[in-house]
Amino acid sequence: MKNLLELNEVTKFYPSFKLDHVSFDVPNGTIVGFIGRNGAGKTTTLKGIMNLIHFDYGTVTCFEKDMKEHELDIKQDIGFSLSELNYYPNRTIAQIADVTSKFYKEFDMSKFNRLCEMFNLDKNKKLEELSSGMKVKYSLAIALSHNAKLLILDEPTSGLDPVSRNEILDIFESIVKKEDRAILFSTHITSDLDKVATHIVYIQKGKIVYKGTKKDFINEYTLIKGNKDEINTNKSYLLGYKIHGNEYDGLVLTSNISKVKYTSKKEPDLEEIMVNLERGVEDEEFDL
């Protein structure tokens, strides 16, 4: 499986934050979910990939070419969208597409028109008149019209209603059926990744703490339920927990399951893993 994108030790220094030696790959035919808390470094990483900000060191290789040396050629094959479209808000979709098409050698306006019909996009509407879901579909229509092989999307399903989110996820799955394409998208809606992601990249405070298949990530952990009096007995193995009355839910490594006491166990979903890893084992009380 060929990698369409490779990050190697990319680092960016800010006064109060450091993107710290970030490395991961995006293989073709995959949907890679980029997860982490707000402020963990997701958007910084995506902007750095596209040279919208400059990494202090490290390398970005896309389609087996160095991004710094071949930026213009590489971007012909990338579809990129930040979380909110806000350029030319008073222009219609058709007008913006006409301008955008001039930047891509292989832009196919007839394909764009077909995609607008497929996505129920009114080309005569102004950008500011589009719903969040329509803006995402517009970004996808532009990317697919110039035959982008790699889509890099920042929070594409944020703010969408459940029906629109599912439509977008269905589109994602259709896109990667052609195995020469891949999608990297950041999100805090982990249920979307439960549905479509093949791989996970998890960033915490600027550092990558996991990169690999979603299946392996989930299999690494087990969610247990037990009596809260057993917390201290199990605490050295707990990665995070939450007390509910006289019981608690806790996350442990699957490899340690034989070492802890519990009344029941189950496979966690991505949200349960992420919440527990971020919560940790410090007792948390809110004085309201």
Residue ranges per structural domain of the chain? 3-217, 220-279
pTM, whole model, 2 decimals?
Answer: 0.88
* Assigned token pair, 164: 């629109």
Q: Does the pLDDT of residue 59 top 60, yes or no?
A: yes
Q: Does the pLDDT of residue 260 top 90, yes or no?
A: yes
CB burial class (10 A; 0-12, 13-18, 19+) of residue 6? middle
Could you tell me which CATH class the domain 3-217 is placed in?
Answer: alpha beta
**Nearby residues of 220 by Cβ (< 8 Å), 6 or more positions away:** 253, 254
Q: Does the pLDDT of residue 285 top 80, yes or no?
A: no
Task: Give the pLDDT band (50/70/90) at residue 283.
Answer: low
* For range 59-79, the mean pLDDT: 94
CATH 3.30.70 fits 220-279, yes or no: yes
Is 3-217's fold the same as 220-279's?
A: no
Q: Angle 109-118/93-101 helices, nearest 10 degrees?
A: 150
pLDDT greater at residue 95 or residue 188: 95
CA–CA separation, 78 vs 76, rounded Å? 6
